[in-house]
Amino acid sequence: VSTTGKPDIPREKSAELYEKSKKYFPGGVNSPVRAFKSVFGTPLFIERGDGCYVWDADGNQFIDFCGSWGPLILGHNHPKIKEKVSEVMQQGMSFGAPTALENELAELILKSNSLIEKIRFVSSGTEAVMSAIRLARGYTKRDKILKFEGCYHGHVDSLLVKAGSGLVTFGETSSAGVPKSFADETIVIPLNDRTAVEEAFKQFPDQIAAIIIEGVPANNGLLIQDKEFVQFLRDITQQKGSLLIFDEVITGFRLGFEGAAKHYGIKPDILTYGKIIGGGLPVGMYGASAEIMSNVSPDGAVYQAGTLSGNPVAMAAGIAQLTELLRSGFYKDLNNKTQEFVESIQRFTAAKNYKFKVFSIGSIFWFAFTDKDIKTAEDIDASSMEKFKVFHRELLNRGIYLGPSGYEVGFVSAAHNKTELEKTKRAIFDSLDIVFR
Ligand code: PLP
| Per-residue pLDDT reduced to its tens digit, 279-320 | 999 999 999 999 999 999 999 999 999 999 999 999 999 999
Tell me which of 249, 285, 407 to substitute to probe ligand 1's pocket, judged by most ligand atoms within 8 Å of the beta carbon: 249
Confidence band of 4 (pLDDT split at 50, 70, 90): low
Residue 202: is it exposed, middle or buried by C-beta count within 10 angstroms (0-12/13-18/19+)? exposed
> Which of the following is catalytic: 247, 331, 337, 401?
247
CB 147 within 8 A of CB 153: yes
State in Å: Cα 6 to ligand 1 middle. Answer: 35
What's the CATH number for 12-77+329-435?
3.90.1150.10
Q: Would you kindly state where each structural domain of the chain is located, as residue ranges?
A: 12-77+329-435, 79-325
Q: 63 and 69 in contact (C-beta within 8 Å)?
A: no
- Topology (CATH) of 79-325: Aspartate Aminotransferase; domain 2 (3.40.640)
Q: Do domains 12-77+329-435 and 79-325 have the same CATH topology?
A: no
Looking at the chain, the number of H-run helices and the number of E-run strands are 13, 17
Among 84, 144, 275, 357, the one annotated catalytic: 275
User: From the CA of 16, how far away is ligand 1's center (Å)?
Assistant: 30
Ligand 1 atom 6: residue of nearest CA: 154
Distance 153 CA to ligand 1 centre (A): 5
* Minimum CA distance residue for ligand 1 atom 8: 154
What is the model's pLDDT at position 343? 98
Let me know if 331 is a catalytic residue.
no
Q: How far is the CA of 244 from the centre of ligand 1 (A)?
A: 18
Please identify, by atom number, the ligand 1 atom nearest to the C-alpha of residue 282: 15
Contact residues of ligand 1, CB 6 A cut-off:
69, 124-126, 129, 152-154, 214, 219, 247, 249-250, 274
Residue 169 has pLDDT above 70, yes or no: no
Grade residue 264 by pLDDT with cuts at 50, 70 and 90.
very high
For the CA of 284, the closest atom of ligand 1 is: 15
Residues 6+ apart with CB under 8 A from 169: 163, 187, 188
Alpha helical stretches, state H, 6-45: 12-24
- How much is the average pLDDT of 242-264? 98
Q: Rounded to the nearest whole angstrom, what is the distance from the C-alpha of residue 143 to the centroid of ligand 1?
A: 22
152 is catalytic: yes
62 bridge partner residues: 54
Q: Which residues contact 321 (CB under 8 A, 6 or more apart)?
A: 73, 74, 78, 80, 81, 276, 277, 278, 279, 280
pTM, to two decimals: 0.97
Asked whether the predicted pLDDT for residue 102 surpasses 70, the reply is yes
Annotation says 58 is catalytic? no
Q: How many CA atoms lie within 13 A of 343 on its CB side?
A: 7
How much of the chain exceeds pLDDT 70, in percent? 98
Q: How confident is the model at residue 143 (pLDDT cuts 50, 70, 90)?
A: very high
Helix (H) / strand (E) element for 47: namely strand 46-50
What is the pLDDT at residue 207?
A: 98
